[in-house]
Amino acid sequence: MNNTSFGVFNRVANVSVNGTDRNIKPMQAFWIYANSEAELSLNNSMRKIQFTEGVQPNVNGIRLTVSGNSYKDEAVVAFSNQATDAYDEFDSYKMLATDKSFPQLYSQTELGNSLAINTMSEVDWTEGTTIDLIFTSGNEGNYTINLSDVGSFNSDVSISITDEAGLTSLIYFETPFTFEYLSSNTNKLFTLNLKKEVTSYNEISLENIQIYSHRKDVFIQIPNTINKVELLVYDVTGRFISNKSLNSGENNIKLNAEGIFFIQLNGPTEKITSKIITW
C-alpha cells in the first residue's frame, strides 16, 4: 500500500484506484469479492516474468484523491451506458485500511453500498447528478480532495463539492477542496455535484458586460439588451461565497475581504467568468 490505502482493480469496468492494476505482484496479498460460492485456482501458466508497472486504466469519469498526514486515498466515480446506479459488476466495494492513520474516501449508493469504484449509468448532464461522498480517518487535521484524473470524461461538466454546512466549492486540477477534520473515527459527509456548464458566449460576452473593482467594491455594467443575470462569487480556492440576481444597468457588489475572487455571471444559456482583486 505504501502511503496509500488498499488498491482496487475492477476487471469489468477496467478501472483501478491507488496505483494498482490487474497484476498481483510478488509477496503481495490480495482479496476477491464474490456474490456466491466460488473456487479460485491459480497455476504456473498465469505467472508473468515481466509486466508493465503502474498502468492505471483510462476512466470515463473522475478520480478524486484525498491527502493528509502524509497519506492518501483514491475514489473513482465513472459512467457507462452498460452500468446501473445500483451495485453491479462495474462497481467495487471499499475496503477500509486497518491502519487508522490513513484518510479514507469513498462514494455511497442510495442503498448504502460503500464503493471505491462507483460506475453509474450515463447521465443527462444538463440535469446533472449528485453522489454522496464519505470521508473518515483516525487522525484529525487538514485534508484536501484533489481532482487527479478525468480521463475521457465530458470536459463541459463542472465539478463541485458541498460540505455538511451547505457550502459549495468548485474543484479543478490546480484548485483542490480543503477541509478540516475535527472528529476522528467518525464519518464526514460530502456531496459531489456534476452538471454541464454552458460554454456559448454568443449573447453575454466580455465585450457586452463590463466588470471592474475598486478596493472591496465590484462594479458590473450590464447592457439594456440583457434583462437578468445571476451572479456567483467564488474565492481563489473555488469556495462559493455568495450569489445574487442582477438587472441591466450598473450593479454594485460589496465584498468583505481582500484577495482574489472569481465572478461568474450566468444568463439563460450563456456564462462568463472574470477574475478580480480586492484590497
Report the number of distinct structural domains present in the chain: 2
- Domain annotation covers residue 46: yes
Q: Domain check: are 140 and 237 in the same one?
A: no
- Domain annotation covers residue 42: yes
Q: Domain check: are 47 and 168 in the same one?
A: yes
- Domain annotation covers residue 173: yes
- Show the beta-strand stretches assigned E in 98-227: 104-108, 114-120, 129-136, 141-151, 157-162, 168-170, 177-181, 188-196, 210-214, 217-222
Contact between 265 and 204 (Cβ < 8 Å)? yes
Model pLDDT for residues 45-59, shown as the tens digit of each residue: 888 776 555 445 556
Q: What is the pLDDT of residue 104?
A: 95
The CATH number that applies at residue 247 is 2.60.40.3080
Cα–Cα distance, 104 to 100 (Å, whole number): 9
The x, y and z cell numbers of residue 85, run together, are: 446506479
What is the average pLDDT score of the chain? 84
Question: Hey, what's the torsion of the CAs at 19, 134, 237, 229, to 10 degrees?
Answer: 120
Q: Domain check: are 155 and 260 in the same one?
A: no
Average confidence (pLDDT) over 206-210: 70
Q: Domain check: are 124 and 168 in the same one?
A: yes
The x, y and z cell numbers of residue 165, run together, are: 454546512
Tell me the pLDDT band of 75, cut-offs 50, 70 and 90. Answer: very high
**177 closest CA partner among 135, 143, 153:** 143
Question: Hey, what's the torsion of the CAs at 92, 31, 36, 114, to 10 degrees?
Answer: -30
Q: Domain check: are 188 and 216 in the same one?
A: no
Q: What is the pLDDT of residue 83?
A: 93
Chosen domain end from 162, 196, 230? 196
- Looking at the predicted structure, is the pLDDT value of residue 244 above 60? yes
Chosen domain end from 196, 218, 239? 196
Q: Domain check: are 124 and 49 in the same one?
A: yes
Range of the domain at 252: 210-278
Looking up cell 498465469 gives 46
Q: Domain check: are 103 and 219 in the same one?
A: no
The x, y and z cell numbers of residue 233, run together, are: 462569487
Model pLDDT for residues 130-149, shown as the tens digit of each residue: 999 999 999 999 999 998 88
